[in-house]
Copies of this chain bind each other. A is one copy, B any other.
Amino acid sequence: MKHDLSSTPARGHVTLVGAGPGDPELLTIKALKAIQSATVVMVDDLVNEAIVAFASPSARIVYVGKRGGCKSTPQSFIEKLMVTAALEGENVVRLKGGDPFVFGRGGEELEALHAAGVRVTVINGITAGLAAVSSLGVPLTHREYAHGVVFVTGHAKPGSMGTDWRALATTARQAKLTLVIYMGVSGAATIQRELMHGLHADTPVAIIQNATLPQQRHAVCTLSELHSTIEREQLCSPSVIVVGDVLQGLLAAGLEVDSTPAYARTA
């Protein structure tokens, strides 16, 4: 039995595509082909222009994310635009930074498209948290130090309860989990304070801004220095915060801020 999430017959088609963390070569072959064959590309913020440039010269490019002061396009408006274009017979690609299904609101867009009877294909991307940690030459899991990894957001839906950082910290210590926190820079003071209820103050932490891009910067410190390091080094969004013993070697090598392109760093 195939499950049928939509009750109306499918009309039109949208492909939700993960653009990966930034470096255009970290796009999958499948994503590249989808972008090349699209007639309409709806582009989120945080997508590298070099990836948008893979689209056909005749494709219509629609930027639906705005950052830095401007109000971003409302989610419902983006969904309506996608539905309209798909029903008009366009080959629509919805291009999102990282992976559409990891803090990408891809689930909500999928539901809206299904509800409108539009067919949806999903193409995964390398999520920024994975690439950010790898760019430091550090694994997310390790048989000695980390038996798993947690991806969480530091930025909860307005009005909803935020992440239970204390419970997460205790579990991370007990179960040896690496924590990867998306959108956590602006709430770093709270995150630091709450995590210290379950994790040691000297747990290693890294903050990685603009992972995999030429302008990548990062700092390594202890959990008790997280907020002050972000302030001093003026690290800001888009950044990923990583917490865990897999970073021990980096911490031992000394606090550093490095502004060289760091993806696929060699040692």
The contact string, 1 if C-beta is below 8 Å from chain B, for chain A 6-20, is 100010010000001
Contacts of A123 in B (CB 8 A): 26, 264
User: Are B30 and A28 in contact (CB-based, < 8 A)?
Assistant: no
A249 at the interface (CB under 8 A from B): yes
- Distance between A266 CB and nearest chain B CB, rounded to angstroms: 4
Partner of A175, one of B13, B114, B164: B164
Residue A190 at the chain B interface, CB threshold 8 Å: no
Indicate the member of A119, A140, A168 with the most B CB atoms within 10 Å.
Answer: A140
Tally A residues with Cβ within 8 Å of B: 82
Known: A123-B264, A167-B170, A171-B167. A130 touches B143 (CB 8 A): no
A65 within 8 A of B: no
**Known: A29-B24, A148-B151. Contact between A105 and B171, CB under 8 A?**
no
A27 at the interface (CB under 8 A from B): yes
Given contacts A5-B253, A107-B246, contact A10 B266 (CB under 8 A): yes
Of the candidates B25, B27, B140, which one forms a contact with A102 in the assembled complex, judged by CB atoms under 8 Å apart? Answer: B140
Does the CB pair B107–A138 fall under 8 Å? yes
Q: What 16 additional pairs, Cβ within 8 angstroms, besides A3-B250, A150-B177, A164-B174?
A: A3-B258, A6-B267, A23-B30, A25-B29, A101-B130, A101-B140, A104-B141, A107-B139, A107-B141, A110-B137, A119-B266, A119-B267, A121-B264, A122-B137, A141-B151, A167-B171
Residues of A within 8 A of B (CB): 1-6, 10, 13, 20, 23-30, 32-33, 99-108, 110, 114, 119-127, 130-131, 133-134, 137-144, 147-153, 156-157, 160, 163-164, 167-168, 170-171, 174-175, 177, 246, 249-250, 253-254, 256, 258, 260, 264, 266-267
